[in-house]
Amino acid sequence: MDSSNNHLVLVILLTIALVLGVKAAHLSRAIPSEEEKNEMERQLKAINKPPIKSFKTEQGEIFDCIDIHKQLAFDHHLLRNHSIQLKPTSVPKWITCHNNSQKIGPLELQLKGISCPHGTVIVKRTTIQDLIYSQHLKSIGFNIPRHVLRDGNNIDLTGHHFATADYEYDNIAGVQGNINLWDPQVSHDQVSLATMAIAGGPIIEELSSISVGWMVNSLLYKDHIHLYTYWTADGYNKTGCYDIRCPGFVQVSKRIPLGVLLQPVSIYNGTQKEMDLSLHQVITSRVSRVNVGYWPQSLFIASGLVKGADLASWGGQVYSPTTEKSPIMGSGHFPKEGFGKAAFVNNIHILNGKGEALIPQIYTIKTHESTPNCYKAKYVHDDDEPWIRAVYYGGPGGCIGK
């Protein structure tokens, strides 16, 4: 059995505070053939494990309670003998900053009327449409870290727009951020998301990365904003997927599934809502937050995240076919409007190789904007701001053919 204590863990802090290359292809052109549909049906049988109990939400989504030892993660050949770690052996002591927003709590993330038995985990059931849409997002290069795109790796950026704050140094063992919740309106095949990511690897073929945040994509999540994750261990070639649509992520929570609908959301010039997320490599000690699950170290090659990341990123990303105006990012307002009006990620921290949680120095964070006339990012580090370190990002969109 695998006795390693090094895991990349997705942890959600559930407390409450106050105020708060396929080029732009339309899915209609990507209808799978009968052979592809048959292959997807085969995949669905492998992905959706026999449930102990099942529940259907008002939105028509089905969630299953699966035996924790029989979940999809253990179909991965590298995890066949993996021993489940229900709690991290160590949780960083993240520094708590003054907060003017309301964090969504565990009861708000827990699905109403759903209670999974002891010894099970809650998993969103995957459909054939989910597989089609996931493949579509991969084909247009979604969730590839911005620094990889910038470095010219023959990845088509058509329709993609970014506004991020990035920390690029070696030996990053984890990151934290409170992501402001908004529910931007997008068209049928557009995407708008807020993300926090870590990545590492010398070349694109050996890139390892994990992204977590919220996404609005009517094709992948039907309605409104949902908690999402994405990971890869080989530069988005053969490994990785959204949420639990492939073996890899080990779910340990029986209350909070990946892909869950996030409610309530922020109100312009009113109450602000946020979700506290952290990704970190666990080394030793105990848990003090609600642990959703983790990506075992054995999934990642030595040159990837095993020895630490070299990029941490916070901010927004959108995508739109070139035939449409690009959608809203964040709240739809530029950073200069400030708190309560512009989207933000606050309480930004880095975990170093010694397991120490650090507030990044001012000179270590740089903002990047792919389309400044439509989206901007502003790094905040003044003591008189609501937080010591944060990034405002977003904009109204409206770009065409870029």
pLDDT at 2: 45
Residue pLDDT, tens place only, 99-123: 666 776 655 666 777 889 999 999 9
Dihedral (Cα; 302, 304, 305, 306), 10-degree rounding:
0
Say how far apart CA 223 and CA 205 lie, in whole Å: 34
- pLDDT tens digits, 229-283: 988 888 777 888 889 889 999 999 998 899 988 989 999 999 999 998 888 765 3
Rg (CA), the chain: 20
At residue 95, the pLDDT reads 57
Amino acid at 327: P
Which residues on neighbouring strands pair with residue 56, listed in sequence order? 62
> Tell me, what's the pLDDT at 91?
67
Q: Which residues contact 155 (CB under 8 A, 6 or more apart)?
A: 21, 141, 144, 148, 149
So what's the pLDDT on residue 145? 54
- Two tokens at 353? 């190789």
Query: For residue 332, what is the enclosing H or E element?
Result: none
Nearest to 180 by CA among 8, 398, 382, 386: 386
Q: 114: closest CA among 256, 250, 264, 290?
A: 256
Angle between helices 128-139 and 34-47 (to 10 degrees): 110
CB 221 within 8 A of CB 199: no
What is the predicted pLDDT for the residue at 282?
A: 52
**How confident is the model at residue 23, as a pLDDT?**
27
Tokens for 152, please give them: 């010219």
Question: Are 216 and 192 a contacting pair, CB within 8 Å?
Answer: yes
H-assigned helices in 144-214: 146-150
245: nearest Cα among 220, 222, 223, 226:
220
List of the chain residues with pLDDT < 50: 1-5, 13-29, 147, 149-152, 283-288
Phi and psi for 97 in degrees, rounded to 5? -105, 165
Give the pLDDT confidence score for residue 156 in this predicted structure: 61
Its pTM stands at 0.86
Determine the pLDDT at residue 3: 43
Taking Cα atoms as reference points, which of 66, 75, 72, 164 lies closest to residue 118? Answer: 66
**196-232 as b/e, with b when 16 or more CB fall inside 10 Å?**
bbbbbbeebebbbbbbbbbbbbbbbbeebbbbbbbbb
- Cβ atoms of 252 and 84 within 8 Å: the answer is yes
Residue 117: asked if its preceding bond is cis (omega within 30°), the reply is: no
